[in-house]
Structures are given as structure tokens and as C-alpha cells.
């Protein structure tokens, strides 16, 4: 894919990042589920579970200070499922081709068989995303993706019957068909990418330097 024209924009806080005022710590408990136990919140909410997995509960106020070390679980999930740009929250789907713009590590082989925890990035926001992140300045590459599908989660893993309720493992990568998915608190949705192709963009070379 070629010919997408981009321009520098003023700095914005990316849509998916977490904010310090959004942190919540509701208590957890084990509940009976399909002959075993399932992790749940003591006081359940309607949107706690997605893809049959318990998600980290966070506010959506963007209060406090931006925390670039974290993402907001619900916004990250929304960006993944709706193919939204992780910076501006607009669609990252190319209107002309139906392909999805994605900013990935330059080490991605483009074989269409990988998965990622990073949501898409629209062409207009790609220069900004690269210029504001030292890791991306060193490793970024632009791709378009034919389609994507839920693969799994990055999550904290808990062990039933072992009080107190503290994670046995943090930030583990689990596929949706793993046996212990009912024992996790998910932080990020992972998407498997299909038909990944390198993309060429027309842009000022200054944002890739």
C-alpha cells in the first residue's frame, strides 16, 4: 500500500494509555463455575467479563496524571475490537481498501501469523506515535493488515484455594483456549494479525530519524 500522506500534529495523550486517577482495586473472590472455580469481583458489574475472561476494572475519567507505562484495559480492548487508532480513537481502517493500518516492531516478519497487544494506529497519527516513543523511533515499521481476530490476553494469573488472593504470575501471555483462563485477571487483549503487509508512507523523514 502506498501514497498515504501524513503530517506532524501537536502532542496528544494517546487514547489507550492509563491515568493515575482511573486506578481501582475492588476485592476479588472465587465463585463456582462449570464444576470448578472462577475468579470474579466481590461486587460484580455487567461488563466485568469479555471473551469469557475477567478484565481489570478501571475508571474512564482520564483523571489524575497520564501513565505511559500502562494502558487502560477497557479502552485498549475497545480499540482492538473496533479497529480504532490507539492515539486518536478514530478508525484505523483504510476506506479505499478495507485494510487496517498497524504500527509494529520492525522485527515483525510480516508473515501474518503473529499476535500483538498494540492496537492499530491510523496513518495520520503514525508520525506522532513514533516521535513520542523512543522504542518506536528505534524499532517501528508500518504495516497494513487484512484482518485480525482475538488470540488471548496479557493477564495476572491466580491459583484457586490459595489465600490471600494475590497473583501467582503477573503479565502472563495466555491464549483463549488455555485451560486456566478462568483463573486470570486480564489487562490487555491480544490480537492475531492476518495478511500482514509492509506499507510505504509518504512523510517527512524527520519523524523517523
The one-digit pLDDT tens for each residue of the chain (209 residues) are: 444 444 444 568 999 999 999 999 999 999 998 889 999 999 999 999 999 999 999 999 999 999 988 999 999 999 999 999 999 999 999 999 999 999 987 666 555 568 999 999 999 999 988 887 666 667 788 999 999 999 999 999 999 877 778 899 999 999 998 888 999 999 999 999 999 999 977 654 433 33
Please tell me the predicted confidence (pLDDT) of residue 114: 85
10 is a domain residue: no
Contact partners, residue 150, CB within 8 Å, separation at least 6: 51, 80, 81, 176, 189, 190, 191, 192
Give Cα separations from 140 to 89, 131, 193, 202 (angstroms): 20, 10, 17, 15
3 is a domain residue: no
Please tell me the predicted confidence (pLDDT) of residue 79: 98
Please tell me the predicted confidence (pLDDT) of residue 9: 46
2 is a domain residue: no
| Residue 2: strand, helix, or coil | coil
**Could you give the number of structural domains in the chain?**
1
**Neighbour-count burial for 23-41, b at 16+ CB within 10 Å, e otherwise:** eeeeebebeeeeeebbbbb
5 is a domain residue: no
| Residue 204: strand, helix, or coil | coil
Show the domain range for 195.
Answer: 15-208
Q: Do residues 9 and 102 lie in contact, with contact meaning Cβ atoms separated by under 8 Å? A: no
Residue 135 in grid coordinates: 522504542
81 is a domain residue: yes
Please tell me the predicted confidence (pLDDT) of residue 105: 74
Please tell me the predicted confidence (pLDDT) of residue 85: 97
Count the neighbouring beta carbons within 10 Å of the beta carbon of residue 153: 28
9 is a domain residue: no
Position of cell 501474518?
112
1 is a domain residue: no
Please tell me the predicted confidence (pLDDT) of residue 184: 96
20 is a domain residue: yes
Please tell me the predicted confidence (pLDDT) of residue 206: 38
Please tell me the predicted confidence (pLDDT) of residue 202: 64
Amino acid at each position: 500500500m502506498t501514497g498515504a500522506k501524513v503530517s506532524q500534529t501537536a502532542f496528544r495523550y494517546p487514547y489507550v494509555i492509563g491515568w493515575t486517577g482511573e486506578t481501582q482495586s475492588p476485592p476479588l473472590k472465587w465463585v463456582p463455575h462449570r464444576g470448578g472455580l472462577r475468579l470474579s469481583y466481590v461486587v460484580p458489574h455487567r461488563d466485568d467479563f469479555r471473551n469469557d475472561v475477567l478484565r481489570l476494572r478501571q475508571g474512564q475519567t482520564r483523571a489524575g496524571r497520564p501513565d505511559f507505562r500502562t494502558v487502560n484495559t477497557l479502552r485498549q480492548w475497545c480499540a482492538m475490537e473496533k479497529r480504532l487508532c490507539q492515539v486518536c480513537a478514530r478508525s484505523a481502517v483504510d476506506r479505499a481498501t478495507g485494510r487496517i493500518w498497524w504500527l509494529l516492531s520492525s522485527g515483525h516478519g510480516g508473515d501474518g501469523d503473529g499476535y500483538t497487544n498494540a492496537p492499530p494506529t491510523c496513518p495520520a497519527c503514525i508520525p506522532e506515535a513514533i516521535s513520542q516513543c523512543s522504542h518506536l523511533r528505534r524499532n517501528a515499521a508500518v504495516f497494513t493488515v487484512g484482518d485480525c481476530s482475538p488470540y488471548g490476553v496479557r493477564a495476572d494469573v491466580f491459583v484457586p484455594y490459595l489465600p490471600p488472593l494475590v497473583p501467582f504470575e503477573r503479565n502472563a501471555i495466555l491464549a483463549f483456549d488455555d485451560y486456566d483462563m478462568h483463573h486470570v485477571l486480564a489487562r490487555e487483549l491480544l490480537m492475531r494479525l492476518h495478511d500482514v503487509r509492509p506499507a510505504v508512507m509518504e512523510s517527512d523523514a524527520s519523524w523517523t530519524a
